Chain A
């Protein structure tokens, strides 16, 4: 009874000292005097949270049972640590740039801020850590009872179980006091880290003190202890090769995925360069922790009675030798190991639970406006954390109760390791492989976790407790290949190796296969690129499409989470940064990103994302964002595409240039042809005028009749020449667009009447048939020019219609909002091959019927183009048929 009280008092004093250290460290940090808090050695010592009561008590027990195999538990982390350049550096950088708060947060944030994934990862972490916490309870309870004697415990507490309960309650109280005093903006707990560093020193010194006592005090020196080791039951080194490799891998994996390790290694990291120091200092620490384990085990096996629990040699060996002081120190070392683990693990787990389970539920229960509802969210977060801490410890206690509290510490610890390591594929895949998707991570994690549950955790409760003995023998539901220790019929493996192998391989295979088969969402791709290429671009590029003035709502929300003072400072700072006056900054995309990151430090990325989304609406991932993070291949392809586009453009330009060149050449040819044509056209009448004028000049004896005839010819040719020149002039004016239209209103019938009269067709051989009804259309156009066109068409019919009784039908009608006037004669028409040429200059269908210079239809076409209409040849009407179309700008039926 007396010794128990002393123990309790010592523990309380020790805890008080720890608390004092934590308090001072926090105050120093708050006052900005915490330079020494940021020493890389504090960081290294805080990593020693890896060495729990399992190391302190369990390693010796493990060594006493299985020889050197316990070393694998420390070799794995050593490998990870000296390989910091591979993984840890990246993890820490990601953790800092994305404000990651936990393992679950990391995984969730990587896979598109998925809360489902966060919940699953949280579940895995909580269930996986439970045996571990039970281990600490068991070791503290054991150490109490072995120190004070079992009877002394049972008097005040009833039995060992209620002793463990009291330990759990005490630890819960202590953790809540430590871990939730404030809600740090970035989840750093200077005080806790400092306390852990102190505890790290205590447990190392305690273990080494016992070791030194054993080696030099009991064995008598190094030579002697080595001889004793070889002479003991563990003197022969015969490692189980499967377990040796599997355990090294498992401990390396657990080192990365243990929630408490992630907490101290990534979340509490002050400076990436601390890793540099830790890369050699932490392996040294681990080496020193494991150095005396085998000597203690060997000497314990030799000196202690046969039935003694080897897990407690560290404590019972000094006790049995009458070294009360050393035993007390050793007890404190074990107590340190247990408390520091429980504190950090529960802090880490409660962060996960409150961020990923409680907060989303709370937000959801508050409906759409949850983020803006009055009431301090910080209170809710803190309460959620406190409750989750208590729950986590309660789970640990329950596991302790139901697993019987009898298993060796190392066995419990390994079960825990194997469960937590299930996050590894999603984590490593997430930071190295951009193709990893949410569905892949989710399915791998879930399956690995279930296999672990079935093969390792449930069997750990013992035959017939949760899984029946029949299940062990015949498999689940009697299916032979579902036996917990012989999945798929592969029996004979060590249960741990068996479970690790199946859970990890199925986990990894599913993760990879499902990732390959599914397609990541834009946000996932963005986050994936940022995680994988964290060293290339450490900026957050997730774009909120802000714009609507919701800054006030944001302010309200930020105050609830960050606290009024911090939030106002944050906003004011942003106002200054944006160069504005007042209190509310513009909700720019950058500001929203910063705010979301700030919030995620308090409530996790998924929740922060959801809260900002409640106010800002959907987050958008712009194409620019995606382009920014596109990997090299994509950039190369992009570049290549641009090159191709440029090359295409060049080809197109070259083609255009060639076409233009061809046209120019054609034009030049046309011009030459035109010139030769025109000189020919001018030359013919000139020749005849010259010839006849020469006759008139040189011939003396010309009769009256001949004189008149020759003068008439000269006159006619001169008229023809004039007409030709007129036509040419007309055409050039029309082509150059210099013509000025004389717009007038008039009836179509009048224009046709005028044309018919001008050609004198009415009384001649050509019969003209008209449909009067369609001609009663009011036009607003250049009536003279239109008449010119009609005259030309009628004259052509007069000249070229080769029917016996030539007839021209003029019909006017309206079609599709256009006025259409058709001129159809009953001759043979124009041969098909000539149809496309008739509107060209100097184009004459045949030479035998001398007519004009071949400019008439060309002029008609130009006129109609100027009038906003057109003239086309209408094939298949029985004779030559021309269609004149007009845009009737003003129409009125009579």
Chain B
């Protein structure tokens, strides 16, 4: 899961660099098509991030909630 979390931005970067290749055949695509593609990837990314954030195990840091209280009480 952690590896998936690490790979997700790389995947996103690749997917969002793809539009640069759209016009390779000499014919520029329509803006609406490119827009739908970019926003489509965006939605997928957000959903994937949501899925990951729910599945990644929780490990509180030194200053979070429980330990934060100790620290601030101290």
Contacts and interface: CB of A to CB of B under 8 A. Distances in A.
Q: Do A and B come from one complex?
A: yes
Interface of A: 67-68, 71, 75, 78-86, 92-93, 96-97, 226-227, 229-230, 234-239, 241, 244-245, 248, 271-273, 276-277, 279-280, 283-284, 287, 291, 294, 538-539, 573, 577
A273 B60 contact: yes
Interface in B24-38: 28-35, 38
Contacts of B12: 75, 78-79, 82-83
Contact of A230 (B19, B22, B32): B32
10 contacts: A80-B9, A82-B45, A96-B63, A229-B32, A237-B33, A238-B28, A241-B20, A271-B64, A287-B42, A287-B46
Contacts of B45: 78, 82, 283
Contact of B20 (A78, A235, A239, A280): A239
Contact of A229 (B8, B35, B56): B35
A280 B45 CA distance: 8
The 5 closest A-B pairs by CB, nearest first: A83-B9, A280-B49, A280-B50, A237-B34, A85-B5
Contacts of A235: 30-32
Nearest to B34: A237
Given A272-B60, A284-B46, A287-B42, A83 B6 contact: yes
A539 B60 CA distance: 15
Contact of A276 (B6, B8, B56): B56
Q: Is the interface of A mostly helix, strand, loop or mixed?
A: helix
Contacts of A234: 31
Contact of B61 (A75, A93, A230, A239): A93
A97 B62 contact: yes
A92 B62 CA distance: 11
Contact of A538 (B38, B48, B62): B62
A498 B65 CA distance: 46
Nearest to B13: A79
Contacts of B48: 82
Contacts of B56: 85, 276
B31 A82 contact: no
A68 B74 contact: no
Nearest to B29: A237
A283 B51 CA distance: 14
**In which size bucket is the chain B interface?**
35 or more
B57 to A, nearest CB: 11
B49 A577 contact: no
Given A71-B38, A79-B9, A279-B49, A226 B32 contact: yes
Contacts of B68: 271
Contacts of A226: 32
A279 B53 contact: yes
A68 B16 contact: no
Given A83-B10, A97-B61, A276-B53, 13 more contacts: A68-B38, A80-B9, A82-B9, A82-B49, A92-B61, A230-B31, A236-B30, A237-B22, A237-B23, A237-B29, A239-B19, A280-B52, A283-B49
A538 B31 contact: no
B32 to A, nearest CB: 4
Contacts of B61: 92-93, 96-97, 272, 538
Given A273-B58, A284-B46, A291-B39, A236 B31 contact: yes
Contacts of A236: 28-31
A557 B34 CA distance: 61
A74 to B, nearest CB: 9
Contacts of A229: 30-32, 35
A92 B50 CA distance: 20
Given A96-B61, A283-B45, A577-B74, A83 B32 contact: no
B3 to A, nearest CB: 9
Contacts of B19: 68, 237, 239, 244
B59 to A, nearest CB: 9
Nearest to A274: B64
Contacts of A79: 9, 12-13, 16
Contacts of A277: 53
B20 A245 contact: yes
Contacts of B58: 273
B40 to A, nearest CB: 11
B64 A245 contact: no
A94 B5 CA distance: 20
Nearest to A286: B42
Contacts of B6: 83, 85-86
Nearest to B2: A85
B17 to A, nearest CB: 6
Contacts of A82: 8-9, 12, 45-46, 48-49
A250 to B, nearest CB: 14
A92 B61 CA distance: 10
Contacts of B8: 82-83
A227 B32 CA distance: 8
A579 to B, nearest CB: 14
Contacts of A538: 61-62
B35 A294 contact: yes
A97 B23 CA distance: 48
Nearest to A228: B32
Nearest to B74: A573
A291 B31 CA distance: 13
A725 B9 CA distance: 100
B56 to A, nearest CB: 7
